[in-house]
Chains A and B, each alone.
Chain A
């Protein structure tokens, strides 16, 4: 039995039978191993969904292109969205949370290790089920029978009348099953954070990473339920003669939208809040200052959590709700910009007066800050309902949410990879490759997503497999596609970095970044039991106190 979560290949270790290694990994309940499983799983699906995006972009490179048929294109954008949200973003964020939180709070594992494993395998199975859909129906060459109803699966497009085959059922069941996995993880995180903090670590002293994942978990618990309920109702409609969403029999299309978006909007906060968590841990370390306004950051996040459940119908501004409804959702959607802006200002203030080191994790955080600012501002534009009546359902909105998800979440994730990879594997990622990855991805991102706003302003709707040669649309789409290829190249550099550094990277030691939270007090990688003896803490930055006994944090906060 290995006492390391991740054995570094080195001379002198007797090779164990690979079956034994596989068995260990498949049956593990260790939060560190499950974290790695989540992350690797998500990276594989990132590549797959990225390829789906490339198909979309190649098809849209010119007007009336015929790279793929409309049927295939519609499956591509459905699968791209569904995969990225449910089988890339959520798993990778759960993976980091799983790995880091017990270490950060001085615990040996999560509260419910077996539930942890069960949650992972549910999510994993969901993804496999979704992709199994490609193998049905027309077979592989016709891209099979994958769902083509968009990742929101609006009614009544999903009714038997309009989606006669089983393709949309793959969407429904895969997402439903993985939703239970998400619930399990959320329960686990909440219990762990509330019950398993080490002595001295009051809620007021735990890392912001833990706080933000706590809020995220609360959101998961509350908002996955409406989606699951709607999906069950959809199955009742399709197979048991129900008419919840069957408009031909008096059902309501709008009700599906409400159920979906009551989940769907908090979902994007479920994705962004852990990304905030990464940034909140990394920016202080590379500015050499504590996070500015810890309590306000916690309060703002809790505020965002609550407010996020009051904004959902800004996705429905065009469906013909009353002026009062539209006004209500406009003001809540603008209001949520306030606590979000506060967070940006606090990160700014953290850097103010510091000594900023432009190592790769910090570079990605800086990209995050600029890009999330822009994404938030285009969000304010979309919150203004009449403006949204023009911008909604066009490429402006596609550009906006990719700005949040790629420019925000993915950049924060890259930062997290570069920051915690040494802890997880014991090796540093290459700084050189890291910088190439950063600059290449930054350029590609901006070429694609800055320009993508413009076709939306010029009337190009979304989810179209081809377009008329309207003035400007072709050139702009060409530029967008070129940027996508640049981003693809950057991701290849990243993957190469991950693999090469695993074998050749510099040894990391316990604390390569001179950081202050508890995970940096153990070896890299940590032993299976995390801590030889459970630590006691007296402040928010226990390692700062150890390194600066003459000036401990406990004196000030």
Chain B
């Protein structure tokens, strides 16, 4: 191979490093560039809760060690390719034939074993600190039930049932008020993942899983289902609102009320209560007691519908009821096939469910 070819190999290798570094810088800028609301990026390197933070610190340690290994081996490989390339005008004699070396083999066996031991000890510590964390008396208990393709959230001690948008109180590190979730599934496997608040844990039918979080900063955090659960897995989005304690108390009180009973929309309520709606949906304080679909008692307290697939507006509600396939094709919401009058009345009723 001519000298220009050999130089090209080396230059390409360096270009490769540049691409990796560039990519790394891009990633870093995405991690640390701060838009108005930093929690809008579900970035695993921007932890806002103790489990996420423990994972973040562990990840830095792991990245440091693997980065070092990479630098050393990459450097050696590049060195070898440059130094031991066949030069033009080479005599054609074979180089010294070396078959092996026991000492060298021992060295590069023992050192990696030691690295593995260190990595493992750091890892085991974080596994236990997260999985075996005791539940304090002040913990908020939430039961999350995964459905195709939405999230049911129950607060058993508070008597609240809601869907898709989880409200939890902010946790002051001095006096923690963490949220402990029990994870269940009504159908297939799902996975609860809010990167800034913790690692993901699956929701598996016929199995009880647990996780916890103690977010120390208020805000809205995004995540979504991470275990393929069927056609609309992609649209099983999550919103976690970390509220200040005042906001959270107010939210709880509002959720504990029975449904608003507005006389002006009694026509729409009648449509709701005499059609198939009540087979799947519940509205507190009414005959509607279905559990297959989301609880609609306080539908209008949520920002989105269809588990984040659309904003919660009157137009979208109307579209969702009449043609769910337009928003989320393959979801289990049936097209209700209502007449225009019934549909108008129904939507007028739904928007009163604050």
Residues of A within 8 A of B (CB): 69-71, 74, 148, 150, 154, 156-157, 161-162, 247-248, 250-254, 287-290, 292-296, 318-320, 322-323, 326-327, 330-331, 334-335, 337-338, 341-342, 344-346, 348-349, 351-359, 363, 366, 369-370, 373-374, 377-378, 380-381, 383-394, 439, 442, 446-447, 450-451, 453-454, 457-459, 461-468, 470-472, 548, 551, 553, 556-557
A–B Cβ pairs within 8 angstroms, 5 of them: A70-B232, A349-B101, A358-B85, A386-B123, A462-B228
In the complex, the chain B residue whose C-beta lies closest to that of A460 is: B42
Specify which of B27, B188, B224 lies most central, judged by the most chain A CB atoms within 10 Å of its CB: B188
Decide: B84 and A342 in contact? CB cutoff 8 A.
no
**In the complex, B159 has a CB within 8 A of chain A:** no
Specify which of A162, A390, A447 lies most central, judged by the most chain B CB atoms within 10 Å of its CB: A390
Decide: A294 and B85 in contact? CB cutoff 8 A.
no
Residues on A with C-beta less than 8 A from B77 are 348, 366, 369-370, 373
Decide: B205 and A247 in contact? CB cutoff 8 A.
yes
Residues on B with C-beta less than 8 A from A392 are 200, 226
Distance between Cα atoms of A451 and B26 in the complex (Å): 9
Q: Quick one: CB contact mask for B55-83 with A, threshold 8 Å, 1 for yes?
A: 10011001100100110011011001100
Whether A345 contacts B108 in the complex (CB less than 8 A), given A290-B99, A381-B63, comes out as yes
Decide: B86 and A355 in contact? CB cutoff 8 A.
yes
Other-chain residue from B6, B95, B112, B200 in contact with A337 (beta carbon distance below 8 A): B112
Distance between Cα atoms of A551 and B52 in the complex (Å): 62
Distance between Cα atoms of A509 and B213 in the complex (Å): 68
Other-chain residue from A290, A318, A331, A461 in contact with B201 (beta carbon distance below 8 A): A318
Given contacts A292-B101, A366-B9, A366-B77, 7 further A-B pairs with CB under 8 A are A148-B231, A355-B90, A373-B70, A457-B44, A461-B191, A462-B228, A464-B234
**In the complex, B119 has a CB within 8 A of chain A:** yes
- Sort A-B residue pairs by CB-CB distance and give the 9 closest, nearest first: A389-B199, A459-B42, A464-B234, A320-B209, A247-B205, A247-B206, A293-B100, A463-B228, A393-B226
Decide: A162 and B187 in contact? CB cutoff 8 A.
yes
Whether A341 contacts B81 in the complex (CB less than 8 A), given A381-B66, A471-B35, comes out as no
Distance between Cα atoms of A293 and B104 in the complex (Å): 10
- B141 vs chain A, min Cβ distance (A): 17
Q: Which of B128-136, B161-169, B341-349 contacts A (4 or more CB under 8 A)?
A: B128-136
Residues on B with C-beta less than 8 A from A290 are 97-99
Residues on A with C-beta less than 8 A from B295 are none
Decide: B90 and A390 in contact? CB cutoff 8 A.
no
Q: Which of B15-23, B250-258, B313-321 contacts A (4 or more CB under 8 A)?
A: B15-23
Decide: B191 and A393 in contact? CB cutoff 8 A.
yes
Other-chain residue from A334, A359, A391, A393 in contact with B116 (beta carbon distance below 8 A): A334
Residues on A with C-beta less than 8 A from B230 are 157, 162
Whether A470 contacts B222 in the complex (CB less than 8 A), given A327-B124, A373-B74, comes out as yes
Residues on A with C-beta less than 8 A from B76 are 348
Decide: A386 and B127 in contact? CB cutoff 8 A.
yes
Decide: A451 and B23 in contact? CB cutoff 8 A.
yes
Residues on A with C-beta less than 8 A from B73 are 344-345, 348, 373
In the complex, the chain B residue whose C-beta lies closest to that of A345 is: B108
Other-chain residue from B69, B119, B131 in contact with A384 (beta carbon distance below 8 A): B119
Residues on B with C-beta less than 8 A from A148 are 231
In the complex, the chain B residue whose C-beta lies closest to that of A319 is: B202
Whether A320 contacts B202 in the complex (CB less than 8 A), given A337-B112, A358-B9, A472-B30, comes out as yes
Decide: B20 and A349 in contact? CB cutoff 8 A.
no
- B327 vs chain A, min Cβ distance (A): 11
In the complex, the chain A residue whose C-beta lies closest to that of B148 is: A162
Distance between Cα atoms of A253 and B228 in the complex (Å): 14
**In the complex, B207 has a CB within 8 A of chain A:** yes
- B332 vs chain A, min Cβ distance (A): 11
- B77 vs chain A, min Cβ distance (A): 6
Other-chain residue from B5, B80, B109, B148 in contact with A342 (beta carbon distance below 8 A): B109
- A356 vs chain B, min Cβ distance (A): 5
Decide: B120 and A334 in contact? CB cutoff 8 A.
yes
**In the complex, B138 has a CB within 8 A of chain A:** no
Whether A458 contacts B59 in the complex (CB less than 8 A), given A70-B330, A344-B73, A355-B84, comes out as no
Decide: A370 and B231 in contact? CB cutoff 8 A.
no
